[in-house]
C-alpha cells in the first residue's frame, strides 16, 4: 500500500501523466486518464462498473457478453473476442486509450496490440493479496480515485471484521478444509486464491505441499486418507440449477461415508464468483460462517450483497449462495 500510494500522480495542466502499479508490481505510466477502455478481464469489468467508470468501456471480452449478469453492465460495448486471443484488428479499429487484461492470463497476441501503440496493462482484480493495489490502479486509470476508495472502504470494513474475529481463535481450532473447483477432484495448493481465502477465514488447506501450476487432480482415496473436517465444492452461477444433484453426488463418492466432513454434515457447495474478484468479501464471510459458525452467526451475507448492489448501483443476484443454505 505504501508503494501504491507513492505512485499516485495528480494530473495538472502542465502534466497529465498518471502512474500506478500493475498486479505484478510493475510501476506503469500512461499519458493521461483513459476515456476509452477495452477490458479483457471480467473481474475488472465489474469493478469499473462499481466505481462509476462504465461510460469509458467501449469493448469487452466475449465472456462478459455471454455472462448471465455482467453482460448487462455495458450493453453498448463491443465484444472483442476471447480474453487470451482477442480480435486485435477490431481493438485497433476501436482505438482505445488502454487495454486492461488479466496478468495471470495474458493475451497470446499481446505483441500485435503493443506494436499498434495501444498500451496494455495487466490488472487481475481477483486475488485477496493484490485487491487493494488493483482497485487503486483502476481508480487512477479512470480518474475515479474517490470512487475506488469508496469501494475499498466497504471491502475493508468486512474483511477487517473477519480478520479481527479470526485472530481470537487459536490455530489449533482451525478446521482442515478440502476445497474443490467446478472440475471434479481439482484442488488448489498453498498460496493460490482458495488457500488465501482459507488463511483469511481461519481454515487449513488439506493440500499442504507445493504443486506445479495453480491446481492439481486428486483421487477419492487421497481425499479419504486425508479425512478433512470440511468439504467445499465451488460451482458457477450458471450451473446452480443442478446444485442438489451435485451435492448428492459428492456424498455418494467412494469412501465418502467414512469421512468426518460427511458424518458431521460439513459438506457445502458455494457459488464460486463469491470467492474471488469484486465480491470476494461475500465469499470470505460465507467461508467464515462455515468454518466458525458460532463466531460469525450474526453476519448476514445476503445483507452485505444487498448493500454492495445499492452502494455501487449494481444488480447482481444472490438467491443461491450455498447448499445447504447457511442462515
pLDDT in tens, 160-205: 999 999 999 999 999 999 999 888 999 987 877 788 899 999 999 9
The pLDDT assigned to 67 comes to 84
Total structural domains within the chain: 2
Half-sphere exposure of 136 (CA within 13 A, CB side): 22
According to DSSP, residue 130 is labeled T
The pLDDT assigned to 35 comes to 95
The pLDDT assigned to 191 comes to 77
CATH of the domain at 105: 3.40.50.1980
In a domain, 231, yes or no: yes
According to DSSP, residue 228 is labeled -
Kind plus residue range of the DSSP H or E element containing 168: none
Residue (of 298, 295, 288) closest to 268 by Cα position: 288
What domain range includes position 44?
A: 2-146
Q: Is residue 195 domain-shared with residue 318, that is, in the same domain?
A: yes
Q: Is residue 105 domain-shared with residue 198, that is, in the same domain?
A: no
Q: Is residue 301 domain-shared with residue 195, that is, in the same domain?
A: yes
Residue 325: CB atoms within 10 Å: 8
In a domain, 160, yes or no: no
Q: Is residue 226 domain-shared with residue 83, that is, in the same domain?
A: no
In a domain, 118, yes or no: yes
The pLDDT assigned to 239 comes to 80
Which of 146, 179, 206 is where one domain is finished? 146
pLDDT for 254-291, tens place per residue? 999 999 999 999 999 999 888 889 999 999 999 999 99
Residue ranges, the chain, pLDDT below 70: 1-15
In a domain, 159, yes or no: no
Q: Is residue 131 domain-shared with residue 177, that is, in the same domain?
A: no
Q: Is there a contact between 44 and 123 (Cβ–Cβ < 8 Å)?
A: yes
In a domain, 183, yes or no: yes
Q: Where are the alpha helices (DSSP H) in the chain?
A: 2-6, 42-50, 62-66, 88-94, 110-115, 131-142, 145-166, 193-201, 220-226, 243-251, 260-263, 280-291, 301-311
- pTM confidence score: 0.90
The pLDDT assigned to 8 comes to 53
Long-range contacts (CB closer than 8 Å, 24 or more residues apart) made by 3-10:
4/132, 4/133, 4/136, 4/137, 5/136, 8/136, 8/140, 8/145, 9/140
Q: Is residue 181 domain-shared with residue 141, that is, in the same domain?
A: no
The pLDDT assigned to 11 comes to 55
Residue corresponding to grid cell 471480467? 42
Amino acid at each position: 500500500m505504501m508503494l501504491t500510494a507513492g505512485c499516485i500522480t495528480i494530473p495538472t495542466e502542465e502534466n497529465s501523466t498518471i502512474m500506478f502499479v500493475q498486479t505484478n508490481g510493475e510501476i506503469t505510466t500512461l499519458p493521461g486518464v483513459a476515456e476509452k477502455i477495452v477490458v479483457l478481464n471480467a473481474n475488472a469489468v465489474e469493478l469499473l462498473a462499481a466505481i462509476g467508470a462504465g461510460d469509458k468501456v467501449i469493448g469487452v471480452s466475449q465472456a462478459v457478453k455471454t455472462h448471465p449478469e455482467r453482460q448487462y453492465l455495458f450493453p453498448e460495448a463491443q465484444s472483442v473476442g476471447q480474453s487470451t486471443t482477442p480480435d486485435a484488428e477490431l481493438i485497433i479499429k476501436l482505438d482505445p486509450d488502454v487495454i486492461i487484461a488479466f496478468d495471470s492470463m495474458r493475451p497470446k497476441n499481446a505483441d500485435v496490440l503493443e506494436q499498434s501503440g495501444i498500451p496494455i496493462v495487466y490488472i487481475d482484480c481477483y486475488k485477496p493479496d493484490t485487491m487493494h493495489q488493483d482497485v487503486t490502479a483502476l481508480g487512477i486509470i479512470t480518474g475515479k480515485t474517490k470512487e475506488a476508495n469508496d469501494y475499498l472502504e466497504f471491502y475493508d470494513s468486512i474483511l477487517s471484521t473477519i480478520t479481527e474475529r479470526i485472530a481470537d481463535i487459536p490455530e489449533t481450532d482451525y478446521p482442515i478444509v478440502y476445497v474443490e473447483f467446478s472440475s471434479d477432484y481439482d484442488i488448489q495448493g498453498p498460496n493460490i486464491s482458495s488457500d488465501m481465502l482459507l488463511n483469511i477465514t481461519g481454515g487449513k488447506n488439506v493440500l499442504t505441499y507445493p504443486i506445479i501450476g495453480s491446481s492439481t487432480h486428486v483421487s477419492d482415496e487421497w481425499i479419504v486418507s486425508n479425512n478433512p473436517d470440511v468439504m467445499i465444492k465451488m460451482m458457477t452461477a450458471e450451473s446452480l440449477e443442478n446444485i442438489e444433484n451435485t451435492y448428492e453426488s459428492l456424498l455418494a463418492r467412494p469412501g465418502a461415508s467414512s469421512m468426518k466432513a460427511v458424518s458431521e454434515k460439513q459438506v457445502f457447495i458455494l457459488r464460486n464468483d463469491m470467492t474471488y474478484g469484486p465480491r470476494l468479501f461475500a465469499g470470505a464471510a460465507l467461508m467464515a460462517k462455515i468454518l466458525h459458525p458460532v463466531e460469525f452467526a450474526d453476519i448476514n451475507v445476503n445483507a452485505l450483497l444487498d448493500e454492495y448492489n445499492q452502494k455501487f448501483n449494481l444488480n447482481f443476484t444472490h438467491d443461491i449462495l450455498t447448499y445447504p443454505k447457511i442462515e
